[in-house]
Amino acid sequence: MSRVRTIGVLGAGRVGTAVARQALRAGYEVLVATASDPSQIALIVEVTAPGARAVTAAEAVGGSDVVVLSVPMRRYDTLDPALLAGRVVVDAMNYWPATDGRLPVMEGERSTSEVVQDFLAGARLVKTLNHIGYHELETDHSPAGSPGRRALAVAGDDDEARSLVGEVVDRLGYDVVEAGPLAAGRVLEPGTEIFAGRHDGEALRALLATVREPARS
């Protein structure tokens, strides 16, 4: 029996609504929230993700087993660390200087997910769903065991959280490849070979083997 029944999505843009639709197809209940009052996004959610519910951020987090972050990276520090403390959280965000503006904190040696984890200190953060286009998320999925099934990497420091998110990725229609600690999220970011291509499990594991770096303390 699945350990995850409800997915909370913070963000109602293209990525967030694509995640919501795919999660609905996979049989999950889906709660969508933004910083706005739910009444202001209710119609958007009804049209773009029929079956999902527009709720407050507190309701989306409190009522879900896994929370997906799909807000623009420039707004990561508007998230509520206290609200997300103790929750299993998927960082599906990417840093795009052209649209986010320059964020020097995101341009150091550490992965962007490590920066987000520092801000959301109590969250059980897992990096995945960022290295697939929002439109591809709904077209590239296939049943488990399908030849050439596309794979997605999962990185995180919390083994249980990483396992739980892996279950979600598989149910969304993708093979799961363990990437290691959250620091490994750096090789999943824009500009990397993993980010730029479609890979099955074997190819993704091979790529990770060539680029994996030791965890940074």
Kindly list the domain boundaries of the chain, sorted by start residue: 6-211
Average pLDDT value for residue range 77-92 = 98
> Which stretch of DSSP H or E encloses residue 29?
strand 29-33
CB 67 within 8 A of CB 10: yes
| 58-67, 121-130, 206-215: least confident range | 206-215
Which residue type sits at 22?
Answer: Q
- 214 has a pLDDT exceeding 90: no
Q: Output the DSSP codes for 118-167.
A: HHTTTSEEEE-SSSS-HHHHTTS---TT-TT-BEEEEEES-HHHHHHHHH
- Helix or strand or coil: residue 66? strand
- 55 has a pLDDT exceeding 80: yes
Reported as a pLDDT band with limits 50, 70 and 90, residue 211 is confident
- Helix or strand or coil: residue 32? strand
What are the pLDDT digits (tens) for 100-157? Answer: 999 999 999 999 999 999 999 999 999 999 999 999 999 999 999 999 999 999 999 9
- 212 has a pLDDT exceeding 90: no
With a pLDDT cut of 70, the percent of the chain lying above it is: 97
Class of domain 6-211: alpha beta
CB 136 within 8 A of CB 14: no
Average pLDDT value for residue range 61-72 = 98
- 215 has a pLDDT exceeding 70: no
Reported as a pLDDT band with limits 50, 70 and 90, residue 71 is very high
DSSP 103: -
The residue to which tokens 């229609």 are assigned: 173
What are the pLDDT digits (tens) for 172-193? Answer: 999 999 999 999 999 999 999 9
Average pLDDT value for residue range 23-32 = 98
Beta bridge partners, 6, equal 29
Reported as a pLDDT band with limits 50, 70 and 90, residue 217 is very low
- 199 has a pLDDT exceeding 80: yes
Per the prediction, the chain carries an average pLDDT of 96
Tokens representing residue 98 in the block: 């052209």
CB 122 within 8 A of CB 85: yes
Residue 202 pLDDT: 97
Cβ density class 178-188: b for 16+ within 10 Å, e for less: ebbbbbbbbbb
- 181 Cβ neighbours under 8 A, 6+ residues apart: 155, 156, 157, 215
